[in-house]
């Protein structure tokens, strides 16, 4: 087994590092991962998920216990997960919980330590013993306040050649940027001034994977995470990993080869482990990270959040339907991660080629009307373009483009999740969506960062009080989303790889059909995406006449298949034959 693994690793290494002894490097990688002592054979095209898998996205300190100041946030989070979400979720993604210097965790100072203000590795192990655990591997860049970067400035190892450098005169006009900050930043070192590459910020210095020692360091980090219970790896900003001056420095083939290599190592350590690539780019580019079912097991459906929000605030599903029809079914062993809110803003690049400029402008202006903010990126032509919208999902869906805020906010919000939960793929729910958290202007003003508007911190006592108040929208959101999740987890037609076909039911009614892999269950998913009551002839849905059909959400039984269905504003139907 090890001989075959080494051969596969060398195939990628020969492309990445053509000028070194790749046979020796392959053996170093195997040893660093510990595979020389214990190695497992991963299955071909193995699905490590089913319809019961629901992922929760949260920060370690999204919930705090002010009544117990000695209780660390990871302990508070564990108790909340056990008490309130045990029956809802199967997996939890805790955003970077390491010591950091900026970007709410994504500027990592020490990959092998838990931020002591959050807790310790034992807290991570305890959560991972109850839920599948997803961790970020912040692989593109590291904090300018890290020991490695301090060593870089001192010109000593480890760190001396760990960060990517370029001449200040280098042609970087073609580089794709997600920010407007300078790409190259001067740093004083023991050898004089050097310019380091910073894709995201001056405090987030890009790592130099042209040095194979950096690759070995990250394999050691991955092993450490797996020893502490991490089963799912989110490769943060991985599209920018490999740089070449004079190119866009995004999606380069060396990046894809490194992902293949990491997947091989991780799968041989734990065949049930999963790699997810975080590539907030146009849809066609995003799909390439599946490779030939040999790169990411799962990719984010980055086009879904902006398209679904636009659909529900415009009352028109045309673009959402067009996008859904264009999405290829994921091969066995791969699937999509469906989400409509996260710690980041709502990306606009994934709408390229899907929304017209006027429609993007309508979307942006409506989000601003609902209290949101807009972040910009520096385009290759030297102009700043809207990059993402920063807003809580609950406030993003408080009204429509035409009429502004209205009375349908809760129904619109629940409808959005009913759509997401039914789509092909694994659903991921941001904790602040589960709780119906609104825009946090105070936190945004305190940090000076737009993204903080959707990164609230709840006191657990206040949160429990809000959830216990049946009249609060927090309680209503939690109850209705929990109900949808409970229903979803029992349906084989909602397996992440079950068949999906888009239905054509007009502009105000969005629909698709799911069928289980053994074909024992079909579900017609029908949604009124408008603020007006809609009617649809059951004959247009083409229900199988010999089956009995029931709406899983309301319990409504379809008695007359030649009749009409009436859908109230933003009503969701999951019509099932079992």
Which residue range is the domain that position 530 belongs to?
Answer: 499-576
Is 515's pLDDT higher than 80? yes
CA 303 – CA 486 distance, rounded (Å)? 26
451 labeled part of a ligand binding site? yes
CA 478 – CA 150 distance, rounded (Å)? 46
- Closest by CA to 504, choosing from 460, 479, 537, 532, is 537
Give me the chain's average pLDDT, please.
Answer: 96
- Closest by CA to 280, choosing from 315, 343, 238, 243, is 238
The verdict on residue 90 lying in a domain is no
110 labeled part of a ligand binding site? no
pLDDT in tens, 39-77: 999 988 899 999 999 999 999 999 999 999 999 999 999
Collapse the DSSP code of 232 into the 3-class scheme (helix H, G, I; strand E, B; otherwise coil) and give the result.
Answer: strand
Position 380 scores a pLDDT of: 64
79 labeled part of a ligand binding site? no
What does the block give as tokens for 165?
């450098």
235 labeled part of a ligand binding site? yes
Position 543 scores a pLDDT of: 85
The verdict on residue 540 lying in a domain is yes
Sign of CA dihedral 547, 549, 552, 556: negative
Report the catalytic residues. Answer: 236
Q: What contacts 265, CB < 8 A, 6 or more positions away?
A: 9, 29, 30, 33, 35, 219, 222
- Closest by CA to 51, choosing from 507, 548, 490, is 490
How would residue 376 be classed by pLDDT, with cut points 50, 70 and 90? confident
Contact in structure between 49 and 55 (CB atoms under 8 Å): no
Is 318's pLDDT higher than 80? yes
The verdict on residue 506 lying in a domain is yes
What does the block give as tokens for 45?
């095209």
How would residue 381 be classed by pLDDT, with cut points 50, 70 and 90? low
- Closest by CA to 546, choosing from 501, 505, 500, 578, is 578
pLDDT in tens, 424-467: 999 999 999 999 999 999 999 999 999 999 999 999 999 999 99
The verdict on residue 98 lying in a domain is no
CATH number of residue 512's parent domain: 2.60.40.1180
Highest mean pLDDT among 175-179, 500-504, 562-566: 500-504
Sole residue written with tokens 């797996």: 226
Least confident of 73-87, 443-457, 543-557: 543-557
514 labeled part of a ligand binding site? no
The verdict on residue 36 lying in a domain is no
343 labeled part of a ligand binding site? yes
What does the block give as tokens for 112?
């092998």
Contact in structure between 332 and 496 (CB atoms under 8 Å): no
Contact in structure between 285 and 330 (CB atoms under 8 Å): no
The verdict on residue 343 lying in a domain is no
What does the block give as tokens for 312?
């529900």
What's the domain count of the chain? 1
Q: What is the pTM of this model?
A: 0.96
Sign of CA dihedral 254, 260, 261, 262: positive
Residue 554 burial by CB count (10 A; 0-12/13-18/19+): exposed, middle or buried? exposed
Contact in structure between 495 and 516 (CB atoms under 8 Å): yes
Contact in structure between 153 and 192 (CB atoms under 8 Å): no
CA 354 – CA 320 distance, rounded (Å)? 9
The verdict on residue 511 lying in a domain is yes
How would residue 559 be classed by pLDDT, with cut points 50, 70 and 90? confident
Alpha helix ranges (H) inside 250-317? 253-269, 283-287, 304-314
Is 260's pLDDT higher than 70? yes
Q: What contacts 58, CB < 8 A, 6 or more positions away?
A: 77, 92, 93, 94, 95, 430, 431
CA 315 – CA 542 distance, rounded (Å)? 24
Is 178's pLDDT higher than 90? no
């Amino acid at each position: 087994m090890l001989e075959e693994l080494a051969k596969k690793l060398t195939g990628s290494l020969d492309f990445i590092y053509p000028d070194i002894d790749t046979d020796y490097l392959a053996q170093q990688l195997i040893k660093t991962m510990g595979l020389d002592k214990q190695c497992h054979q991963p299955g071909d095209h193995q699905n490590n998920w089913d319809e019961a898998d629901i992922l929760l996205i949260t920060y370690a300190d999204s919930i705090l216990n002010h009544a117990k100041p000695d209780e660390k946030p990871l302990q508070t989070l564990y108790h909340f997960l056990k008490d309130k979400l045990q029956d809802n979720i199967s997996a939890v993604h805790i955003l970077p919980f390491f010591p950091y210097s900026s970007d709410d965790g994504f500027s990592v100072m020490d990959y092998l330590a838990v931020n002591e203000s959050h807790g310790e590795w034992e807290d991570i192990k305890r959560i991972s013993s109850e839920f599948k655990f997803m961790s970020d591997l912040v692989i593109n860049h590291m904090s300018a306040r890290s020991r490695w970067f301090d060593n870089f400035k001192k010109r000593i190892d480890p760190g001396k050649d760990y960060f990517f450098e370029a001449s200040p005169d280098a042609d970087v006009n073609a580089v794709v940027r997600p920010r407007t900050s300078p790409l190259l930043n001067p740093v004083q070192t023991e050898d004089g001034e050097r310019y380091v590459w910073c894709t995201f910020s001056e405090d987030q210095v890009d790592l130099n994977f042209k040095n194979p020692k950096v690759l070995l360091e990250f394999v050691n980090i991955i092993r450490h995470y797996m020893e502490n219970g991490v089963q799912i790896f989110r490769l943060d900003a991985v599209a920018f990993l490999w740089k070449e001056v004079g190119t866009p420095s995004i999606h380069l083939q060396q990046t894809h080869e490194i992902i293949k290599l990491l997947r091989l190592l991780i799968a041989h350590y734990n065949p049930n482990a999963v790699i997810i690539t975080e590539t907030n780019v146009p849809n066609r580019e995003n799909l390439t990270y599946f490779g030939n079912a040999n790169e990411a097991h799962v990719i984010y459906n980055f086009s879904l959040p902006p398209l679904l929000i636009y659909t529900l605030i415009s009352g028109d599903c045309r673009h959402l339907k067009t996008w859904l029809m264009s999405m290829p079914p994921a091969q066995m062993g791969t699937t999509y991660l469906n989400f409509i809110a996260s710690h980041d803003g709502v990306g606009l690049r994934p709408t390229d080629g899907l929304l017209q400029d006027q429609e993007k402008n309508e979307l942006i202006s409506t989000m601003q009307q609902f209290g949101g903010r807009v972040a910009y990126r520096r385009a290759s032509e030297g102009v700043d373009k809207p990059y993402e919208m920063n807003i809580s999902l609950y406030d993003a869906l408080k009204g429509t483009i035409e009429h502004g805020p209205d009375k349908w906010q809760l129904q619109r919000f629940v409808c959005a999740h009913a759509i997401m939960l039914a789509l092909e793929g694994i659903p991921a729910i941001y904790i602040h969506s589960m709780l119906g958290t609104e825009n946090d202007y105070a936190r945004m003003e305190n940090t000076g960062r737009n993204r903080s508007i959707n990164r609230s911190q709840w006191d657990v006592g206040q949160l429990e009080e809000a959830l216990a108040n049946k009249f609060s929208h927090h309680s209503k959101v939690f109850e209705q989303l929990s109900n949808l999740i409970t229903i979803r987890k029992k349906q084989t037609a909602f397996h992440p790889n079950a068949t999906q076909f888009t239905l054509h039911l007009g502009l105000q009614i969005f629909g698709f059909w799911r069928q289980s892999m053994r074909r024992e269950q079909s579900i017609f998913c029908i949604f009124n995406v408008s603020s007006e009551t809609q009617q649809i002839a059951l004959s247009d849905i083409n229900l199988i006449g010999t089956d009995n059909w029931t709406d899983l959400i309301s319990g409504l039984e379809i008695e007359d298949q030649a009749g009409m269905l009436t859908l109230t504003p933003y009503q969701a139907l999951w019509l099932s034959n079992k």
